[in-house]
Structure 1
Amino acid sequence: MVQESMEVMTLDDEGSSCDAVTHLQSAMEINYESGFDFRVKKGEDAHDLRREVIGGEPVVLAMVADGHGGSAASAFCRDFIFDAFLERANGDASAESLQAAGRDAFHRAHAEVHAIPGCTAGCTLTLCAVNEQRGELTCCNVGDTLAYLVSSELAGTAQMVSADHRIDHSEEERARLKALGGNLGKAVGPDGQPGGPIRVFPGGLAVARGIGDADCADFVSCEPHVETRTLPDDFVLVVATDGLWDGTTLKQVTRIALKARTPEATAEKLLKLSVKLCGLFDDMT
């Protein structure tokens, strides 16, 4: 069973009733009240954190979404995904049930965003469910908002519990997109030269899986990567958008997560490091 040693952390989060979750209220405040200038670049990220009881078993839920083309999709997922997940779980907190609930909730969210009149916004989405009683983590994700499990029991390494669906990084996704008739290439910059990550056209998306993106409906898949892990007794779960992962190394994240004493301290150190190394090039959640 996972008890007080559990730390479920996103880089800025709202608190809830349990101790592990309440710590994260301070982590959210770090983003706005520290001496560093943490201005939001686009304001399209969304996140939420909640502790629920499913079939008598305490489960901590965390979600992070990185929006593009506006905040409509990410904001919708923040308000929708937990309730859809809980409805589908229907009182069963087994790993099989939570995996099925995640898949169903992602497909429902995708359809609902598509149904918003005139909306072509999209987002990545990562949903983590920590079953405290069983000591299990179930993670579902689309896109490049990644989740890593860090523990001294894992030889001091960070283990990814999500999948990276960036077209640049996935040969499997490139093959899938080509089979659907997508054209892969790089966007042309102001100098007339191609640059940046590989994208799929029409649409120009750099991730092959996501929620929404009605203008790229022929290519974007909302089918999430889903996996369940048995948790070590002492762990930190880091869930973050690409604004963090693109600016730091896994070695740096692991070292900070293992040394910091609280989730808010971990969040503060990771944010400061990322801004110091790369500046404010993207939203960071």
Structure 2
Amino acid sequence: MKQNQVLMLSWVGKLGASGGSKEVKLDDEKDPLIWCKDVERHAFGEFSYAVVQANEVVEDHSQVEVGQKATFVGVYDGHGGPEASRYICDHLFSHLIRIVKEKGVISSETLKNAVSATEEGFLKLVRMSCGIKPLMAAVGSCCLAGIISEGTLYVANLGDSRAVIGRLHRRKSNKIVAEQITEDHNACMDEIRQELKNNHPDDPHIVVKKQGVWRIKGIIQVSRSIGDAYLKKPEFALDSSFPRFYLREPIRRPILGNGPSLYNRELKPDDKFIVFASDGLWEHMTNQQVVEIVHNNPRSGIARRLIKLAINEAARKGKIKYEEVKRMEKGSRRGVHDDITVAVVFIDQQVNTNINEASMRGFANSTTKSSFSTL
């Protein structure tokens, strides 16, 4: 058995696998619902990118944009349908490029403005569509967007996708440390529930625990998103013919936030890689487990390996074998695991010269020229 397979199987054991699941050859076995780019180059290093579909229609959309002097990663975890996440994937980066051209600089502010323009555009689409498709008002998406430019990482986040940096320990150079650089906007967090209660003191049902899970208005877990118009503007309220999304009292103020949390960080030599992933990864693996797996295994295929380990852990929790999950069709797999997107961006000291500018999207097998080329 190859050394990297031994490492991977030992990590399966550490994640709690038992019985037949230890026999899974995570590197070799094909999973027809996983799409991947095992290793590609970007301006400051390499990246590994993978997506697995669990829903009947995939609701995770994502992109990696490679430019001569910048790299962009977007992870958009949809809910209620794929329309919002697909819209973000089609428009956010183009808004960013337009605003950067206008302002002449890449910054947290330009990223924030691009997210705001994307939200406004999607709400216009919902307004135009609601007459023939009223449930568009209940479609939304988390949005995690990061851009590396001139040695600085800028991140905007709405929802519970997450960006985590793997950096070397300052005193133990062989030890990798996880540093979460985004905040989860999820009602399972005490501080998020308190924030909601503070913002809605007149609503005793702003957060409700249903079947052991905290949900906003008993419906949704994330407290910030793009879309979910019925929880932001009274004009998009859904009537009682849609009981899942019906609110007995009209909203007086937006229930969900549409402004992103912003982060920026000057990258240091100890910062080795950044993991951008939807919550389907983080619900089965801790930040530290993820960065140690990345650090202790070859770069090529590392995003795919993380996804397979997450599926394996989901199978263990469901008391079934990994092999059984692989045989499931899309749709039925959603009872075991979510759609999962992972992009691991390695930060090297040298700059890749003459990089081919490229735009890649999850589950799209064609690579096109990135709009970075217009800057």
Q: In structure 2, what is the Cα distance between the partners aligned to 1:142 and 1:160?
A: 15
Determine which of 270, 280, 285 is the counterpart of 1:248: 285
Distance change >3 Å, CA 126–CA 251, structure 1 → 2: same
SS of equivalent residue, structure 1 residue 168:
coil
Q: Which residue of 1 aligns with 2:303?
A: 267
State the identity %: 21
What is the CA-CA distance between 1:156 and the residue it aligns to? 1.7
Contact kept? 1:165, 1:173, Cα under 8 Å: no
Contact kept? 2:187, 2:207, Cα under 8 Å: no
The answer to whether structure 1 residue 184 and structure 2 residue 220 are counterparts is: no
What is the CA-CA distance between 1:18 and the residue it aligns to? 3.6
Q: In structure 2, what is the Cα distance between the partners aligned to 1:165 and 1:52?
A: 30
Q: In structure 2, what is the Cα distance between the partners aligned to 1:101 and 1:152?
A: 30
The answer to whether structure 1 residue 67 and structure 2 residue 75 are counterparts is: no
Q: In structure 2, what is the Cα distance between the partners aligned to 1:50 and 1:252?
A: 27
Q: Which residue of 1 aligns with 2:95?
A: 84
Distance change >3 Å, CA 12–CA 109, structure 1 → 2: farther
Q: Which residue of 2 aligns with 1:227?
A: 263
TM-score by length of 2: 0.60
Amino acid at match of 2:340: M
Q: In structure 1, what is the Cα distance between the partners aligned to 2:45 and 2:231?
A: 36
Distance change >3 Å, CA 135–CA 23, structure 1 → 2: closer
What is the CA-CA distance between 1:17 and the residue it aligns to? 6.9
Amino acid at match of 2:211: G
Q: In structure 2, what is the Cα distance between the partners aligned to 1:175 and 1:229?
A: 26
Q: Which residue of 1 aligns with 2:114?
A: 105
What is the CA-CA distance between 1:266 and the residue it aligns to? 1.7
Amino acid at match of 1:160: Q
- Report Cα offsets for 1:47-106 as digits up to 9, x if no partner: 0000235xxxx1100000100010000000001111111221227675xx4201111111
The answer to whether structure 1 residue 128 and structure 2 residue 146 are counterparts is: yes
Q: Which residue of 2 aligns with 1:34?
A: none
Determine which of 163, 182, 205 is the counterpart of 2:183: 163
Task: Provide structure 2 residue ranges, at least 5 long, that are not aligned to the other structure.
Answer: 1-34, 131-135, 233-253, 316-335, 342-375
Q: In structure 1, what is the Cα distance between the partners aligned to 2:179 and 2:46?
A: 25
Contact kept? 2:192, 2:223, Cα under 8 Å: no
Amino acid at match of 2:187: I
Distance change >3 Å, CA 18–CA 174, structure 1 → 2: same
Task: Provide structure 1 residue ranges, at least 5 long, that are not aligned to the other structure.
Answer: 1-10, 32-37, 188-193
- Report Cα offsets for 1:20-56 as digits up to 9, x if no partner: 68754xx44xx5xxxxxx5523510000000235xxx
Question: Which of the pair has more CA radius of gyration?
Answer: 2
The answer to whether structure 1 residue 140 and structure 2 residue 156 are counterparts is: yes
Amino acid at match of 1:109: T
CA RMSD of aligned residues (A): 2.7
Q: In structure 2, what is the Cα distance between the partners aligned to 1:79 and 1:16?
A: 22
Contact kept? 1:14, 1:48, Cα under 8 Å: no
Amino acid at match of 1:51: V
- Report Cα offsets for 1:179-208 as digits up to 9, x if no partner: 235523446xxxxxx314211227x12111
Q: In structure 2, what is the Cα distance between the partners aligned to 1:17 and 1:247?
A: 28
Contact kept? 2:76, 2:141, Cα under 8 Å: yes
Distance change >3 Å, CA 21–CA 122, structure 1 → 2: farther
What is the CA-CA distance between 1:261 and the residue it aligns to? 2.5
Q: In structure 1, what is the Cα distance between the partners aligned to 2:53 and 2:101?
A: 40
Amino acid at match of 2:272: F
Q: Which residue of 2 aligns with 1:206?
A: 221
SS of equivalent residue, structure 2 residue 206:
strand
